[in-house]
Structure 1
Amino acid sequence: MYARLWCVCLAAVSAMAAEPPIVNDCILIGGEQKSASEQSLLQRLAPLKHKRFEATVQEGTDSYTYTFEVCGRVDNSSKSSNEGLVQNETASAKTTVIGRINDTHIINGTDWILLVYKSGDKYDSHCDKESRKAMIMISCNKNTLADGFMIISEERQKSNDCFYLFEMDSSVACPAEESHLSVGSILLIVFAVLIALYIIGGFLYQRFVVGAKGMEQFPNFTFWQEFGNLVADGCDFVCRSQPRSSETAYRGVGDDQLGEEPEERDDHLLPM
């Protein structure tokens, strides 16, 4: 019984592995060999998956609305044909598929991602009746997840390789920010952590083990107090511009400070 159950499980896993990607996901072109860089780019677009964006443009008397989904079908009904970006003409209510998600290509640069949907509906007369193609330029904008979807231009004045160009802003296109701490920053952080541990640990020890109160709860309070006094004395010694004591403003009246009095002459008092 267990052997039969094991065989059933293996068969189910093999069947799942053999199945193609589900239709509401982007299917990358390139055959069996899938590009690892493209796969990683699709992972970056995961926050935008199945989000719907619309842009309306006026061309003369005609109005067109473009609807776009990131790796999702615009039409979720049973009639869907993997359309990832469609054009709806307002007057005639005509719908044209610009690109399909089962024919996807994706590339990127420093701060942008270019998502390409190919295999759209064929042109009637332009571009040698080739299939339409949608190119969506997703530019870096750290302030929004997704915004500003609009059509830039339609290039169809060529014999082949025509395309519709769209753009939008998204933070998923921004490069990952790497923060590298310098050696000095690391040393400062370690030093600050050690000081915090010393103060907190010493405070708890002094309070709960020694039973100290008030300022004596600070670890090694006497040492730091004496250290502060020594620092103050050293600063006073180095920075003071005048000596600590100055001469007394008033001099004493000792005998050594008395000058010789002039000799009095009393010759004029003697009788002639």
Structure 2
Amino acid sequence: MYAQLWCLCLVAATAFAADQPVDDCVLTGGDKKSAAEQALLQRLAPLKTKKFEATIQEGDDSYKYTFVVCGRVNASTSPNAGLVQSKVGSTEVTVIGRIDDTHILNGTDWIMLFYKSGDKYDNHCDHEPRKAMIMISCNKNTLGDGFTIINEERNKSKDCFYLFEMDSSLACPAEESHLSVGSILLIVFAVILAVYIIGGFLYQRFVVGAKGIEQFPNITFWQEFGNLVADGCDFACRSRPRSSETAYRGVGDDQLGEEPEERDDHLLPM
């Protein structure tokens, strides 16, 4: 008896759960879900439950399309409906697609969201369920805007669809950093150098009490280091000693020095 009661409760709970409307997009594909599709839904997370509307004139009638990103348009009248069509001035509502039958894919700068399992056509497309395709194009200037209907393809015997488009920065590719490894190292070095100079200056001035050039951190070390660098550069870069004598001197008259005047007065007779 207890086993039968347990089975009955389990069946009732399962049926109750099946009747409950979902609150988020449910991807198609059975038990295995695509990791790529789940990642795309995560990209659209800032748009979830946001509502967008578009109106189109067909002859004397106006139709309004209401689209919610992974959310229900109206939980009371249209369970799991993510995109609906309503005739202006009428209470008639047609479900174009439901969020519990979702497919999503993307390209370089666009994301395509599919809502399937809409209300069946009355006189078109062999009475198949309606389907919505929402093209989300890259636009860095808006989070989500420009929702419009492009076309309703219903002149086929199957695979009919509604095509919509909208703009969103979420469809834009991630911008890659243009900084190279060398640039990053230079920035880090510049930051460390600035911290060293400013911190050392403040320490020397307010803690040690140094004045003038003595406020520069480790001034004695840097002066000696500068001298060593200058000596090393002088030794390595000069092609000959700073003051060198000419190895060979000519014997021209212009190079002969004045001979000392000979004093031979002592040879003269007295």
Amino acid at match of 1:195: L
Gaps of 5+ in 1: 1-14, 232-272
Equivalent residues in 2 for 1:85-96 (5 A)? 85-96=83-94
Q: Give the distance between the partners of 1:205 and 1:66, measured in 2 at CA.
A: 68
Q: Give the distance between the partners of 1:197 and 1:30, measured in 2 at CA.
A: 56
Q: Identity over aligned residues, as a percent?
A: 75
Q: Which residue of 2 aligns with 1:155?
A: 153
Answer whether contact 2:149 2:164 (CA < 8 A) is retained: yes
Q: Which residue of 1 aligns with 2:62?
A: 63
Equivalent residues in 2 for 1:139-178 (5 A)? 139-178=137-176
Q: CA deviation at 1:208?
A: 3.6
Q: 1:213 aligns with which of 211, 214, 217?
A: 211
Structure 1 runs (4+) greater than 2 angstroms displaced: 19-22, 213-216, 218-224
Answer whether contact 2:78 2:95 (CA < 8 A) is retained: no
Q: Which residue of 1 aligns with 2:114?
A: 116
Amino acid at match of 1:57: I
Q: Give the distance between the partners of 1:91 and 1:125, measured in 2 at CA.
A: 23
Q: Give the distance between the partners of 1:56 and 1:185, measured in 2 at CA.
A: 52
Q: Which residue of 1 aligns with 2:34?
A: 35
Equivalent residues in 2 for 1:1-272 (5 A)? 23-77=22-76, 79-220=77-218
Q: Could you say what secondary structure the match of 1:97 adopts?
A: strand
Q: Which residue of 1 aligns with 2:257?
A: none
Gaps of 5+ in 2: 1-12, 231-270
Answer whether contact 1:69 1:84 (CA < 8 A) is retained: yes
Q: Give the distance between the partners of 1:36 and 1:198, measured in 2 at CA.
A: 48
Report the TM-score when normalising by structure 1: 0.71
Report the TM-score when normalising by structure 2: 0.71
Q: Could you say what secondary structure the match of 2:105 adopts?
A: strand
Answer whether contact 1:62 1:91 (CA < 8 A) is retained: no
Q: Deviations over 1:120-139 (max 9, x none)?
A: 11111111111110000011
Q: Give the distance between the partners of 1:22 and 1:90, measured in 2 at CA.
A: 26
Q: Which residue of 1 aligns with 2:250?
A: none
Q: CA deviation at 1:22?
A: 6.0
Q: Which residue of 1 aligns with 2:249?
A: none
Amino acid at match of 1:34: K
Q: Could you say what secondary structure the match of 1:194 adopts?
A: helix
Answer whether contact 1:104 1:115 (CA < 8 A) is retained: yes
Q: Could you say what secondary structure the match of 1:23 adopts?
A: coil
The number of residues matched between the two structures is 214
- Please, what is the CA RMSD of the aligned residues? 2.8
Amino acid at match of 2:80: N
